[in-house]
Structure 1
Amino acid sequence: MTQSSVHGERTRPGSAPDHGGPGDGPGPGPGRRAGRRRPGRRHRALRWSATVLSVLILGTAGAGYLYYEHLNGNIQKGERSSGDSKADKPEPNAAGQTPLNILLIGSDSRASDANVALGGGRNNRDNPPLGDVQMLIHLSADRESAAVVSIPRDTRVDIPACTDPKTGEKHPATNAIINESLGRGGAGCTLATWENLTGVYIDHWMTIDFAGVVAMADAVGGVEVCVNQNVWDRPLPAVPGGSGLKMTKGPHRVKGEEALQWLRTRHAWGSDLLRARAQHMYMNSMIRTLKGQNVFTDTGRLMDLADAATRSLTVSQEIGTVKELYDLGMQLKTVPTDRITMTTMPTVEDPQDRNHLLPAGDAEKMWTMLREDVSFDDKGGKDGKDGKDSGNKGTDSATGKDPAAPDAEIGVLVQNATRSATLGPVGGRASAVAEVLARKGFAKAATDTSAALAEEKTVVRHPGPETAGDARRVAEALGIPASSVRRSADVSGITLVVGADWRSGTSYPRQEKPEAGELPDNSDALNGSDSGKCMDVYAPYRW
């Protein structure tokens, strides 16, 4: 690999190269699962710590209430989605459980003196922020496993039309690298971009900036990282910039600005993809650190951590209180470390620009696993926890709340969306599929004659609950999986969008349901309990 092959050099036209964003917000909530204990001093201490926690975090009166209000006042929040999103919230499974998806965004904003001091780029202070780190955290419906997927910042995707919630400015849909979505409507626009790309409904978002990363690393007391060679991420004659990270071979506990340098380093690892791996190592290490600390019995540390977390994060408004964040942390806390899997979306080089990437075909398998709540690891037990029976039971046509009308009465508009990032559209696909529906008894099937669209995966969209049963019936008739039936404000009736995955034939290609642990080979999976990983340093940055 040569120095010029490092992805992501041209991320902000007309300005100096940007060298990364913060990586990681807080991991799962602190503490260990409490077991049965004999009465005694330790039992009383735990009972006392629970009382302190309720006063400090939930707050009921007096000083506790004032501190609770102080923490609430720290939190900045915004609307969940500010873009044109097509994802629908999944129905509960047979046990009444639903997965939980949280989008974590690291912003490169220089909007404050602290961020300018840490991130440099004083001349870029007024530029729109870029979402240089983006991770989707998926908690399984049973809360027994978790998956984290990163998308490299220079991946070219379709960004939907978004409205900036602060200024009201409307941004039209565009095709650009994904980190630009943050500046086109805030975190809510990035969330909508992810939903449209993956088909996964995202419940919440959290953002953290340079100063927030430093504050969280200090509050945790440092996070252990490791390198296999001495590293110095510095400017080189042919490659300007660098995070400034300098450390010797072996493990190190980083905090403050050094933690930020680790998360921003890209050149010394060799690419954005490898930077994602370093960020995953950091995040796993932070989770292990929090789980290993007895925060609940250390009032001072608990207060410091709560204060740092609420000051560091901006969150979607439905989790914009200390109680909501605490409850969220408790859900994260229940997941065992060895059931957490960190991954990166498979990508290929963008033929239009070698500094950019495109989602690879294997990425769809990953999104399917998330949509159907199939665990990324193979450590699940019985009763569907191995991924074989963990699909979305509530979307099946036999169990859906809305019954389907007779086939002949269901109106279906068929659209040709077979164009992809690398292939042109297939002529006549909408007409061909509409004819198939007509032969199956859907007499009101019609063809949309507008210009060909682009959609990687075939979907059946419907406008609301009253049409859900009809949409499921259309999907069932063609063999399209129930997970591809989605509610959308874009359509006024049942709309079948024939995607790039169905370019030929009269029946939808059979899709093998992935089983637990069947991740694509190029997803760079890392288990949360693996503490022995170290980063290799790209040769020019060794010393």
Structure 2
Amino acid sequence: MSLTPREPREPSADGGGRHGGGRRGGGPDGGPPRRRRRVLRWSATVLAVVILGTAGAGYLYYEHLNGNIRKGQRSSGDSKAKRTEPNAAGQTPLNILLIGSDSRNSDENVKLGGSKDSRGNPPLGDVQMLIHLSADRKSAAMVSIPRDTRVDIPKCTDPATGKTYPATNGIINESLARGGAGCTLATWENLTGVYIDHWMTIDFAGVVRMADAIGGVDVCVKQNVWDHPTASVPGGSGLKLTAGSHKVKGKQALQWLRTRHAWGSDLMRARAQHMYLNSMIRTLKNQNVFTDTGRLTDLAEAATKSLQVSEEIGTVKKLYDLGMELKSVPTDRITSVTMPNVTDPQNADHVVPDATNADKVWQMLRDDVPLDKNGKASGAKKKTGTSTPTKTPSVDPGSLGVQVQNATRTSTELPVGQRASAIAQVLAGKGFTRAAADTTATLSADKTVVQYPSADLEGDAQAVAKSLGIPLSAVKKSTAVSGVTVVVGADWRTGSAYPKQSSPKAGDLPSNSDAINGSDTKQCMDVYKVYQW
């Protein structure tokens, strides 16, 4: 039986139609009114059951997908990063930290990742990548920090166990084992000054599931590659491909993402990962997954089983919305880069941020400046009425006590000797005769700031900043100081006047950031000669 009654007949030339044919009050099939009403009631009942049944199944499946998602605390460490101010349209950038875990705490992950001896150990964050969506959602960036980068890791508390880990200076991939993904997020925020809205983690098994659900991703090598153990270097991902383009999925996709030796370094592994993700985004954009129920179901199952996310995005709807926002960005407006870095002077096997160039990338992210040159800036810092208002000082300059701290130390350079004393003398010459160097502080800061502890001293802090040429945007309230304090950062290692800071322009990336545009389909990995076959 049809679920809906047949359409009424068109009127005939003799005035017939649904009341035509000489049958007064006849139904659509010519039957009596009582029969017609029974047909309508039965059809409506069947249709209602089908609709309600489908909706019920859909709701149960939606709840099933939500039940797949594992969630965790957004931040578990000390961090002072602040959100970028909205643009004129009230829009703000969105930053998501993607972490690839080397966890081997399941049979599946041990099988895929080898090293059974590591089972039970806290996982390390071997892949760390910030996904930045511009405020207007017209451009995006993917920024990697190599796993062997030495950084300051803040004090973190593991939300699962309650264990507190003291602040330390170590390799960034260790942050995941010192309080979970929330500690890695706090480490990134302190290093970059970029506020990170969410995190996502994925393990070996998750990569395989996602690659299979997508149906494979195109990658390319310039020479035959086999990432296998050698007499001098153990391990290897097992990746084995002939020269040219290949569609990798499942375990082979994981091998591509984990390969390091065959590319020559961990830095080149980041490049291979960027190529993979760019290719994956192009693949998803070209697929009609939202009209293919089977494919959409496979992707939903794989994603919800594979990802662990920060709790504020722990529903299918929120993950779907995030995916749609990323999907809306044109591929030629997506830029992948690796943090500019130099060899760690303490350990040649590690790297540290290339202070000047790395900070330029972080500033572009903080100010929402596009990393590509293919569009206009979203203007996240250009909302009217957001300039810092000037406050009236509470006392004369000669009556104000000012502390000056030397924070010029970087990961690659020693602090400038007597720098705090030199700036204190500059302040004294400008009337702040009570300015003095704080010799007890051992600090490191990328940017110079003027801090004050309470609102009544804001005008005084602004007056100090003006006298040194420091912008008012660098005047910050802080409970870490007891009075007006100038923190001389690595951006002011020489000179008596604060150097003028030029704003970065769209696409003006440092040469050592290894930038790749998302629309570039000609990228192909070079294979280190030892691993060619």
Which band: TM-score by shorter chain? 0.7 to 0.9
1:392 matched to 2:381? yes
Worse-superposed segment, 119-128 or 463-472: 463-472
1:459 matched to 2:454? no
- Residue 324 of structure 1 deviates from its aligned partner by 1.5
Worse-superposed segment, 461-470 or 279-288: 461-470
3-state SS of paired residue (1:88): coil
Letter aligned with residue 215 of structure 2:
G
Are the aligned partners of 1:288 and 1:337 in contact in 2 as well (CA < 8 Å)?
yes
Worse-superposed segment, 467-476 or 101-110: 467-476
Are the aligned partners of 1:156 and 1:175 in contact in 2 as well (CA < 8 Å)?
yes
CA distance in 2: counterparts of 1:202 and 1:473, whole angstroms: 32
From 107, 111, 118, the equivalent of 2:105 is: 111
Deviations 1:226-254 (A, max 9, x none): 11111100000001000000111111111
CA 1:246–1:466 in structure 2 vs 1: closer, same or farther (change >3 Å)? farther
From 511, 523, 536, the equivalent of 2:526 is: 536
Are the aligned partners of 2:84 and 2:380 in contact in 1 as well (CA < 8 Å)?
no
Please name the residue that 1:285 is paired with: 279
Deviations 1:73-102 (A, max 9, x none): 111111111111121122212221211111
Please name the residue that 2:244 is paired with: 250
CA 1:488–1:404 in structure 2 vs 1: closer, same or farther (change >3 Å)? same
Query: Where do residues 348-359 of structure 1 align in structure 2 (5 Å cutoff)?
Result: 348-359=342-353
Please name the residue that 1:143 is paired with: 137
1:99 matched to 2:87? no
- Residue 147 of structure 1 deviates from its aligned partner by 1.0
CA 1:224–1:514 in structure 2 vs 1: closer, same or farther (change >3 Å)? same
1:426 matched to 2:416? yes
- Residue 420 of structure 1 deviates from its aligned partner by 2.2
Between the aligned residues of both structures, percent identity stands at 71
3-state SS of paired residue (1:286): helix
Deviations 1:410-454 (A, max 9, x none): 886432211222333234333443454566677886653423212
Are the aligned partners of 1:225 and 1:254 in contact in 2 as well (CA < 8 Å)?
yes
Letter aligned with residue 372 of structure 2:
D
CA 1:494–1:168 in structure 2 vs 1: closer, same or farther (change >3 Å)? farther
Which of structures 1 and 2 has the bigger CA Rg?
A: 2
CA distance in 2: counterparts of 1:486 and 1:332, whole angstroms: 33
Are the aligned partners of 1:152 and 1:272 in contact in 2 as well (CA < 8 Å)?
yes
Deviations 1:30-56 (A, max 9, x none): xxxxxxxxxxxxxxxxxxxxxxxxx9x
1:376 matched to 2:371? yes
Query: Where do residues 129-278 of structure 1 align in structure 2 (5 Å cutoff)?
Result: 129-278=123-272
CA distance in 1: counterparts of 2:341 and 2:69, whole angstroms: 35
Q: Which runs of 5+ in 2 are unaligned?
A: 1-50
CA distance in 2: counterparts of 1:472 and 1:96, whole angstroms: 27
Deviations 1:272-322 (A, max 9, x none): 111111000000000001100001111111111111111111111111111
CA distance in 2: counterparts of 1:481 and 1:200, whole angstroms: 19
Are the aligned partners of 2:79 and 2:186 in contact in 1 as well (CA < 8 Å)?
yes
Please name the residue that 1:327 is paired with: 321
Please name the residue that 1:70 is paired with: 64
Please name the residue that 1:404 is paired with: 391
CA 1:379–1:400 in structure 2 vs 1: closer, same or farther (change >3 Å)? same
Please name the residue that 1:296 is paired with: 290
Equivalent pairs, count: 478
Please name the residue that 1:318 is paired with: 312
CA distance in 2: counterparts of 1:325 and 1:489, whole angstroms: 36
> Larger relative contact order (C-alpha < 8 A, sep ≥ 6)?
1
CA 1:506–1:184 in structure 2 vs 1: closer, same or farther (change >3 Å)? same
CA distance in 1: counterparts of 2:146 and 2:496, whole angstroms: 36
Deviations 1:451-476 (A, max 9, x none): 32122332345679998888677655
CA distance in 2: counterparts of 1:265 and 1:207, whole angstroms: 19
Are the aligned partners of 2:394 and 2:459 in contact in 1 as well (CA < 8 Å)?
no
Q: Which runs of 5+ in 1 are unaligned?
A: 1-54
From 492, 502, 510, the equivalent of 1:502 is: 492
Letter aligned with residue 415 of structure 1:
Q
CA distance in 2: counterparts of 1:416 and 1:229, whole angstroms: 51
CA 1:364–1:273 in structure 2 vs 1: closer, same or farther (change >3 Å)? same
